[in-house]
Each structure stands twice: as C-alpha cells, then as structure tokens.
C-alpha cells in the first residue's frame, strides 16, 4: 500500500524543485537591468502618490528629450557648411590653357585673345567656382554664407554671392570680352575646357564642427541640491516637477548603470527574491509534498510567479502603468481554483512579497494585497460554482477600497481630493479579475487540471450522461449514489479530495449503460447470464470498464474522472464467475486471465477509497439482515480481501486509513439500512 520512493530519487526531485525557483528568480532579475533605480511612478497632471520626496544628492535638471533634440536640430541648421578653396585648380587650368594655345592655337588666334582669357580665368578662379547644384542647394536652404577654408587652413566666412557656377563663369568669359575681340574666335578656343570648380564641399569638416557644437551643448538647465524639496504626497505633478522627477530618475539610472553599484542592486534583488522562493520551495517540500511531486503543479506555479513578479519588475522599471492595475489576487484565485486554500495562501503571500521588492512603498502595497488575497480565499473556501469567482472579485474590490482608505486616513489624517484616481486603478483591476472565470477554463485545458467548479458541475445528476444512466440503468445509478455517499465520507475523514471522489463515484459504473440487464442491480426476474457460459458472462461484466472509458471520452470527461472508471476494479477478478467455473471444472487448472479486469490498480488515495466503497456497497446488498455485526463482518471481509490481493499497493493509503475507512463504512451502512417502525392501523 505504501509507495516507497528511494532517498536519492526524492532528493533529486527536491533539488530540481529548488533549482526551478532559483531559475525563475534569475529570469525575473534579468528582465529588468537596473531594477534598483528610480521606482516611483508618476504622470504629468496626476497627484503624487508617495510621501515627501527630497533630493538624495545634488543632481542637474536635465532638459527634456524633445527640448534637447530641438536644440540639436537648431545647431545643425545654423551651422554654415564648410567648403575648401583648392588653389591648385587655377594653376592647373592656366597651365593647360598656355600649353594648348602655343601648341595649336597661336597661328590662328591672336595673342590678345590668350591674354584676355588668361586674365579672366585668373579673376574667376580667384572669386571661386562652384558646382551649380551646390549653389542651388545653398540658396534653397537659405545658407547665404559658407565657411571657406583657404591656404594654411584659415577659415573665413564668405557670402555665396561671391562665387560663380561653371555656367555663370562661362557666360562671364563672353560677356566681359572687349569689343575688339571676336566671339567666334573665342569659341574656337573651347573655353569650357578650362573651367572646373575649385570651391569644394568638405562634409567631414562640416560634421566635425557640428559635433563640436553638439558636445558643447549643455544637457541641463540648472542644479538641485541635496535635501532640496521636490514634491510631497497629494501634490499635482506640474510640468516643472515632472522634469525634476524625470531628471532624478535619469540621474539614478546614470549613477547605477554599468557600475559596481548597479551589479550590487541586481544581486541584492536576486538574493532577496531567491531567498523568498527558496523558503517557498522548502515549505512545499516539507509540508505539501503531494503538490511538488506533480511536475505540472510546479510548472504552473513557476510560470505564474514569473508572470506576476516579472510583470511588476518590468512595469516599475519602464513606468508603464500604476501597480494597482495588476490583478495580483488573480494568482490567489487561480491557485484556489485548482488547489487547497493552504497552498494558495502560502504561494500568494510569497508572490506578493517578491513583487514588493520592486515597489517604491512596499508596506502599503503588501497590506492591501495580503488583505485582498485573504478575503478572496475566504470567499472561495467552499468553491462550488463559477459565480463565486465573480463575487470574490467584487469583494476584492471592496476591500481594496477599504484598506487603501484606511491607509490614506492613517497617513494623511483625512481623504485626499485625488483619492478617486486610485479608485480608477482598482476598477480596472476588478475588470481583469472578472476574467479569471475564463482564464481558469483555459488553464484547466492546458495543464489537465479539473477544478472543484467543474467537478460540481459534472456531479449534477441532470448532466446528459448521468441522466441517461438513471433512465437506462436505475439500479446502477442508485448504486453509484450510495457509493458516492460512502466514498465521500471516508475521504473527508482521511484527508482525501471530497469533491473529486464524489464525482468519480457517480461516473465509475457508466459503462453499464451498454448492457444494464447483465448486472444484478438492474435485473428483474430473468437473469440473462443463465443462457451464457461463465467465460462469456465474465467478459460482459469486465467490458463495463472499457465501455465506461469510451463513453467518458466521448462526453469529454476529465482524465481524473476517467481514471476512476479505469481503476475501480483494478486487476481484480469477477470472483463469482471464476469460482463457479472452478467448481464446474474441479479437475482442471483454471486460467484466471479471462476472469480478470484489465486494470490498472488504483494509485491515488481517492481511487483506492472508491474501490473499497464500490465493493462494500455492492456486497452489502446481498445481506439478508443488515445488523451491525453482519455489516461489520462483511466490511472487514471485503476490505481485507482487497488488501490481501495487493490491489491497493500502489496507493498512499496506510493501515490507519484502512481502519478509519472500515469504521466510516460501518456507520454509513447502518444509517442506510436502518429499519423503520411500523405505523399502527387506525381502529
């Protein structure tokens, strides 16, 4: 009956559990680099929710990003582009003109033309030639002056009217010619050949000058000294105050980012959170080992912790929204939906404490969340309908309001005019909490849980499958009800899941719907087994298990309920037909396989109780007189037989549990079969 787990195996499982909690703590810490920085949440035009804030040290009043960006854009716009004056271009072009003239033009074109062109080119190059598109661009950008770098890297400011485009320089050569010179002869000299821009845009130097100006731009507009008052509780965050708070947050991030202090803050958060999670893991291992033994439970818990604590850390770090919008109580409600109140409470408190690590004023936060969580768990103490989840959400909202009001009066001596703002946050929280109804259904499907709510709904005798059982096999239906009564009472005495076993008992024999008349509780005068061999009868009886599994799967019953159908006979035997067959063949060695159920044997406390209740209730119907001694002897004989056959070896039931179950069955069966007094006839 006792499932023995080796110490090394149990030790490894416990170590994996603790490592899982540590991993979650590390992941949450990595989510928020610098999570020890400025943890206050504030918005322009909204009241300050925290106590008096003074400057912890001297810090500059930083310009807003938009203001700083505007000033930087102004610097870029005001900066005059830098151009370089290339003196070598003029010398090169004049030398080329001279070579060309004396090589091929001197015989046909008079020397006076050469002198004119030479002098005019010198004048034009001295003024400066620039590409036409560059000149157009400067005029469009209203850059009326440029910075011109001449020899010895001297920079001068020059108006753009000084320079000529290549086209303008070409026209100047013709427009300025003396009347004595013939234009046709000038054209023969191919003057455009000697025109090249010698004023060139220097982008690298321009960007260096801009960067130098940007580097000289001050990022701040003032200084706040240590101890100077910034804002007090209830005051409206004005644009100026907003800038002070933003500057303080920026300064804290600057001081902590990438430094030893930053790593110290992160390590401190990790150690605090890791310690909380370690204590939680240790508590679950020592006091709620059944929870830890199932991997899906640990996976669900770790994911939930990561979501709620991680969301808090990210929200505080990036200032996304007020922390009271996060529906922390949803964690407690979800845990209570699938587990007991004890497990839900301890895990919820640890989650709240871990989240409080990132909150600027943790004491008020912890008080509000713990009270609200306790109220929710009290409201869900006996969870039997989904409507209770909605009622619990409204109760949480009510106590959010009451506790926050009490804290405000305690700190302020009265109610602030801006108290309605936090009510808005609580209202949004309430909206999220109401979605727990839907979320619980999703979690059920993903993790394979079956909540008390679902079990209560399934145990309604008006559900299609149970209604069909009551109509087709009324005797079996009554038997299932009786088994449910016995099993539920026994489970409540030894700490089993009462609602789970109640529902499992109602469905454990639904396979008898297929052949109801072959089971004694549904038979009339005629017994169809009289026409069958023992082997055939045994197979029909055994088949109600597989038929029940098929029906349950068809009606989408949870796996936990199907397990009751599968295990309520375990690998036991159809003892009546086996013994009959043996008596009919005394000289033959009988193979018990055709008379044995396929199993498996029960492996949970609840499945074991159901097997005992089913066997005892069915056998009790065969008693001619339901006396206390007769019921006790029957109960002991049936249960001891099941134990001796080893059908309960895989369950965690102890001998003390077995004895308690026997006593419960005796009391309940006596009540079921009590005799009534005879009413006298009227004379």
The tokens describing 501, both together, are 């076993």
Query: Are the C-beta atoms of residues 618 and 487 closer than 8 Å to each other?
Result: no
Exposed e or buried b for every residue in 37-68, given b needs 16+ CB within 10 A? bbbbbbeeeebbbbeebebeeebebbbeeeeb
Query: Which residues neighbour 237 within 8 Å (Cβ) at sequence distance 6 or greater?
Result: 42, 43, 44, 45, 46, 47, 48, 231, 245
Please give the average per-residue pLDDT across 106-134, as a whole number: 92
pLDDT at residue 522 is higher than 70 = yes
Using alpha carbons only, give the angle 470, 475, 477 rounded to the nearest 5 degrees. 40
Alpha helices in 495-598 (DSSP H): 498-507, 534-554, 559-567, 575-584
pLDDT at 95 over 90: yes
**Cβ–Cβ < 8 Å for 331, 308:** yes
Helix 605-620 to helix 655-672 angle (10° resolution) is 40
Can you tell me the distance from the alpha carbon of 98 to that of 77, in angstroms, rounded to the nearest whole number?
A: 44
Q: Which residue has the higher pLDDT, 256 or 139?
A: 139
Q: With bands split at pLDDT 50, 70 and 90, how would you rate the model's confidence at 507?
A: very high
C-alpha distance from residue 296 to each of 289, 345, 534 (Å): 14, 19, 44
Count the neighbouring beta carbons within 10 Å of the beta carbon of residue 169.
25
> Mean pLDDT, to the nearest integer, of 238-248?
86
Measured CA to CA, the distance from residue 141 to residue 20 in angstroms comes to: 63
What whole-number distance in Å separates Cα of residue 252 and Cα of residue 37?
6
Of residues 622, 632, 628, 657, the one with CA closest to residue 643? 657
More confident residue, 129 or 266: 129
Mean pLDDT, range 37-53, rounded to an integer: 75
Question: What does the CA dihedral 218, 224, 226, 230 come to, rounded to 10 degrees?
Answer: -140
Average pLDDT over residues 131-138: 90
What phi, psi does 381 have (nearest 5°)? -60, -45
Q: Which of 182-186, 245-249, 534-538 has the lowest mean pLDDT?
A: 245-249
Alpha-carbon distance of 373 to 327, in angstroms, equals: 10
Assign residue 227 a region (left: φ > 0; alpha: ψ between -120 and 50; beta: otherwise). left
Residue 348, Ramachandran bin (φ over 0: left; ψ between -120 and 50: alpha; else beta) = alpha
Contact criterion met (CB below 8 Å) for 136 and 201: no
Which of 41-55, 395-409, 596-610 has the least mean pLDDT? 41-55
DSSP string, 366-388: HHHHHHHHHHHHHHTTT---THH
Structure-block tokens of residue 250: 């920026």
404 to 333, 338, 368, 428, 494: CA distances (angstroms): 21, 29, 7, 15, 42
Q: Look up residue 258 and give its DSSP letter.
A: T
Tens digit of pLDDT for each residue in 66-85? 888 888 889 888 889 999 99
- In three-state secondary structure terms, 220 is strand
Q: How confident is the model at residue 256 (pLDDT cuts 50, 70, 90)?
A: low
Among 99-108, 228-237, 253-262, which stretch is predicted with the lowest mean pLDDT? 253-262
Give the H or E element holding residue 588.
none
- The separation between CA 577 and the C-alpha centre of its own chain, rounded to angstroms, equals 57
Tell me the CA end-to-end span of the chain in Å, nearest whole number. 61
Residue positions counted in the chain: 683
Q: What is the mean pLDDT of the chain?
A: 87
Task: Work out the pLDDT band at 384, boundaries 50, 70, 90.
Answer: low
Neighbours of 420 (CB within 10 A): 9
Residue 574 confidence (pLDDT) above 80:
yes
Pair 566, 611: CB distance under 8 Å: no
**Model pLDDT, residue 5:** 44
DSSP β-ladder status, 229-231 and 53-54: antiparallel
Per-residue confidence (pLDDT) for residue 34, from 0 to 100: 52
Give one word for 591, left, alpha or beta, with left for phi > 0 and alpha for psi -120 to 50: beta
- What values do phi and psi take at 241, rounded to 5? -65, -40
CB-based contacts of 461, cutoff 8 Å, min separation 6: 467, 470, 506
pLDDT at 372 over 80: yes
pLDDT digits 0-9 by tens, 393-426: 999 999 999 998 898 888 767 776 667 788 899 9
Percentage, residues of the chain above pLDDT 90: 50
Dihedral sign (CA 549, 555, 556, 561): negative
Reduced to 3 states (helix: H, G, I; strand: E, B; else coil), residue 409 is helix
Q: Are 227 and 212 in contact (CB under 8 A)?
A: no
Distance, in Å, from the CA atom of 460 to the CA atom of 502, rounded to the nearest integer, reads 11
| CB-based contact 632:670 (threshold 8 Å) | no
Rounded CA gap, 399 and 181, in Å?
104
Task: Enumerate domains of the chain plus CATH numbers.
Answer: 8-33+260-447 (no CATH), 35-63+228-256 (no CATH), 76-214 (no CATH), 452-672 (1.10.3210)
pTM comes to 0.63
The CA radius of gyration of the chain, in Å to the nearest whole number, is 46
**Residue 254: strand, helix, or coil:** helix
* Exposure string for 498-517, b = 16+ CB within 10 A, e = fewer: bbbbbbbbbbbbbbbbbbbb
209 touches 82 (CB < 8 A): yes
Q: Cα–Cα–Cα angle for 277, 281, 282, nearest 5°?
A: 115
Out of 8-12, 60-64, 173-177, pick the least confident. 8-12
Give residue for tokens 């013709």.
174
CA dist 389 and 372 (Å) reads 14
The reported pLDDT for the residue numbered 1 is 45
What is residue 331's predicted lDDT score, i.e. its pLDDT? 96
Separation of alpha carbons 75 and 629, rounded Å: 104
């Amino acid at each position: 009956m006792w499932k023995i787990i080796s110490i090394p195996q149990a030790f490894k499982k416990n170590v994996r559990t603790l490592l899982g909690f540590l991993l979650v703590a590390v992941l949450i810490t990595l989510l928020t680099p610098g999570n020890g920085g400025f943890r206050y949440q504030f918005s322009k035009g909204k009241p300050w929710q925290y106590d008096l804030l003074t400057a912890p040290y001297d810090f500059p009043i930083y310009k807003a990003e938009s203001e700083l960006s505007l000033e930087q854009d102004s610097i870029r716009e005001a900066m005059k582009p830098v151009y370089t004056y290339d003196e070598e271009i003029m010398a090169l072009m004049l030398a080329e003109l001279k070579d060309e003239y004396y090589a091929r033009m001197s015989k046909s074109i008079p020397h006076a033309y050469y002198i004119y062109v030479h002098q005019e080119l010198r004048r034009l190059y001295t003024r400066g030639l620039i590409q036409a598109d560059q000149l157009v661009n400067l005029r469009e950008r209203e850059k009326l002056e440029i910075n011109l770098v001449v020899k010895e890297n001297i920079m001068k400011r020059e108006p753009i009217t000084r320079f000529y485009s290549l086209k303008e320089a070409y026209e100047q050569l013709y427009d300025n010619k003396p009347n004595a010179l013939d234009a046709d002869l000038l054209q023969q000299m191919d003057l455009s050949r000697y025109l090249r821009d010698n004023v060139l845009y220097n982008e690298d130097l321009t960007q260096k000058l801009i960067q130098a100006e940007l580097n000289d731009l001050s990022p701040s507009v003032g200084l706040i000294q240590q101890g100077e008052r910034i804002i007090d509780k209830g005051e409206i965050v004005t644009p100026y105050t907003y800038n002070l708070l933003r500057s303080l947050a920026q300064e804290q991030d600057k001081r902590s980012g990438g430094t030893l202090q930053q790593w110290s803050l992160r390590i401190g958060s990790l150690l605090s959170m890791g310690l909380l999670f370690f204590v939680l893991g240790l508590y679950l291992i020592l006091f709620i080992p059944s929870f830890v033994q199932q991997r899906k439970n640990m996976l669900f818990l770790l994911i939930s912790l990561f979501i709620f604590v991680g969301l808090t850390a990210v929200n505080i770090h990036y200032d996304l929204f007020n922390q009271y919008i996060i529906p922390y109580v949803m964690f407690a409600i979800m845990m209570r939906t699938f587990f007991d109140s004890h497990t839900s409470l301890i895990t919820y408190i640890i989650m709240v404490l871990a989240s409080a690590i990132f909150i600027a004023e943790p004491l008020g936060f912890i008080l509000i969340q713990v009270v609200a969580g306790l109220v929710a768990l009290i409201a869900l103490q006996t969870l039997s309908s989904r409507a209770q989840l909605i009622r619990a959400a409204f109760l949480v909202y009510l106590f959010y309001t009451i506790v926050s009001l009490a804290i405000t009066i305690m700190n302020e001596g009265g109610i602030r005019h801006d108290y309605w703002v936090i009510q808005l946050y609580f209202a949004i929280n309430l909206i999220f909490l109401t979605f727990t109804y839907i979320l619980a259904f999703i979690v059920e499907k993903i993790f394979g849980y079956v909540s008390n709510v679902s079990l209560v709904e399934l145990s309604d005798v008006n559900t299609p499958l149970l209604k069909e059982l009551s109509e087709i096999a009324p005797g079996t239906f009554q038997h299932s009800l009786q088994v449910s009564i016995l099993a539920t009472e026994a489970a409540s005495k030894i700490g089993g899941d009462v609602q789970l076993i109640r529902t499992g008992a109602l469905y454990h024999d639904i396979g008898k719907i297929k052949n109801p008349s072959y089971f004694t509780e549904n038979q009339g005068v005629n017994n169809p087994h009289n026409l069958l061999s023992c082997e055939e009868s045994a197979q029909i009886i055994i088949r109600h298990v597989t038929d029940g599994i098929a029906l349950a799967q068809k009606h989408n019953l949870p796996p936990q309920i199907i397990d009751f159908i599968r295990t309520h006979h375990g690998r036991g035997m159809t003892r009546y037909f086996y013994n009959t067959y043996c008596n009919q063949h005394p000289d033959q060695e009988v193979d018990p396989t055709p008379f044995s159920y396929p199993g498996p044997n029960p492996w949970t406390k609840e499945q074991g109780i159901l097997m005992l209740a089913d066997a005892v209730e069915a056998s009790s119907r065969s008693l001619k007189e339901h006396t206390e001694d007769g019921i006790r002897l029957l109960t002991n004989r049936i249960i001891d037989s099941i134990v001796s056959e080893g059908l309960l070896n895989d369950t965690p039931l102890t001998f003390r549990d077995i004895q308690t179950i026997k006593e419960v069955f005796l009391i309940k069966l006596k009540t079921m079969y009590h005799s009534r007094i005879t009413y006298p006839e009227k004379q």
